[in-house]
Amino acid sequence: MRRDGLITARWLALLVPLALIGGALFSQFVGHLVPCEMCMWQRYPHYAAIGVAVLAFIIPDRRATYALVAIAALLIATSGVIGVLHAGVEYKWWPGFTPCTAGFKPGATGMEMIEMLRHAPIVRCDTAQWTLFGISLAGFNAIISLTGALAIFGLMAKSLRR
């Protein structure tokens, strides 16, 4: 394999999702932050991207490597888009997509409120558990994932021009 942007793109396609999953698991098991449903949605594309990126290191064919790195980048970008959607729910820019964002309905009776509490999610998707500089973990995932995917695609395009 020539020394070009594809090598760096391949490494980014592996290291970006590894770092983000590592950070998510660290915050969960060391920081004791319990992931909500939308948090978990963001993890699935990263797990898949790690597997696809590992294949890009195993399969020696250059065209296959391009395809696998591109698929990994798309998966990373998918997690970033889910991160944008989740951050928007947390910042109340739009309503959530799941029952984990459900609030109380106006005019509910006391018994209806008790039932809503009984069925309420343990961890709500519309409340950020942790922020840094006003950016939630979902926001950081969106920024890092989308930037990483763009960098991977840029490096791949650069290697095609050679």
Q: What tens-digit pLDDT sequence spans the chain (162 residues)? A: 445 888 999 999 999 999 999 999 999 999 988 888 889 999 999 999 999 999 999 998 989 999 999 999 999 999 999 999 999 998 989 887 766 655 556 677 777 767 766 666 577 778 788 788 988 999 999 999 999 999 999 999 988 876
Q: How confident is the model at residue 37, as a pLDDT?
A: 86
Is-contact 36 121, C-beta < 8 A? yes
Is-contact 53 13, C-beta < 8 A? yes
Q: How confident is the model at residue 69, as a pLDDT?
A: 97
Q: How confident is the model at residue 1, as a pLDDT?
A: 44
Q: How confident is the model at residue 11, as a pLDDT?
A: 96
Structure-block tokens of residue 161? 């021009």
pLDDT tens column, 41-75? 999 999 999 999 999 999 989 899 999 999 999 99
Distance from C-alpha of 46 to C-alpha of 54, rounded to nearest angstrom: 12
Distance from C-alpha of 125 to C-alpha of 90, rounded to nearest angstrom: 7
Q: How confident is the model at residue 96, as a pLDDT?
A: 79
Distance from C-alpha of 23 to C-alpha of 148, rounded to nearest angstrom: 15
What ranges in the chain are assigned the alpha helix state H?
Answer: 5-29, 37-58, 62-90, 110-118, 137-161
Q: What is the pTM of this model?
A: 0.82
| Closest to 15 in 3D by CA, of 150, 148, 154 | 148
Q: How confident is the model at residue 121, as a pLDDT?
A: 55
